[in-house]
Amino acid sequence: VDFGGLGQLRQIRGTSSDGVETISFPGLLNRTRSPGFIALVSLDVEGFELQALRRFPWESFEVGAWIIETWGAPQSNHSDFRAKGLELIALLEAHGYRRRPVQNNGVDEYFIRDRWWHPSLAEHKLRQHPKGSHGC
């Protein structure tokens, strides 16, 4: 399996009998019997955020706040990367979410519906990763 997020490449090598189980948003939400309202979803799937969101069952679930790793895609100088970022924003906006100006957002974007937004939410402290965590 190759992981190719922006600026990184990690490889997992194994025998041909090794496999990786994946699950879609609908499958995950059904398997975990998620409630109709989910307060927060933090989405970081190494460049596949748009593909994951396309499968989200918008008609069955409401999310209070989405925190999505975009690595600045909407402002990127790379046209394909920027186009993906803009499409991601358009998809979320079509479902009532607005991109919010959050301090110290790092590589993430915050998308919150008007009814859940309060200006105090913009005051986000800089996240400090534990020593030896490699930013995870």
What's the number of domains the chain is made of?
1
Q: Does residue 83 lie within any of the structural domains?
A: yes
Residue 47 within any structural domain of the chain = yes
For residue 136, being part of any structural domain is answered with no
Residue 25: in which H helix or E strand, if any? helix 25-31
Please report the pLDDT score of residue 34 as a whole number.
92
Question: Is 128 a member of any domain?
Answer: no
The one-letter amino acid at 134: H
In this structure, is residue 35 part of a structural domain? yes
Burial of residue 44 (CB within 10 Å: 0-12, 13-18, 19+) is: middle
What is residue 1's predicted lDDT score, i.e. its pLDDT?
A: 45
- Is the pTM higher than 0.75? The answer reads no
Domain that holds residue 48: 2-122
Q: Has residue 22 been placed in a domain?
A: yes
59-90: b (≥16 Cβ within 10 Å) or e? eebebebbbbbbbebbebeeeebeebbeebbe
Per residue of the chain (136 residues), what is the pLDDT tens digit?
444 554 455 555 555 566 777 888 888 899 999 999 999 999 988 778 888 899 999 999 999 999 998 766 556 565 666 778 889 999 999 999 999 988 777 778 889 999 999 888 888 776 666 777 666 5
- Look at residue 108 in the predicted model and tell me its pLDDT: 82
Beta-strand pair 62-69/98-100: unpaired
Mark out the alpha helices in 45-123 (DSSP H runs). 49-54, 79-94
pLDDT score, position 134: 62
Please count the CA atoms within 13 angstroms of the CA of 80 that sit on its side-chain side.
Answer: 2
127 φ, ψ to 5°? Answer: -75, 130
Question: Is residue 134 in some structural domain?
Answer: no
pLDDT confidence of residue 72: 61
H/E element, 6 = none
Residue 21 belongs to some domain of the structure: yes
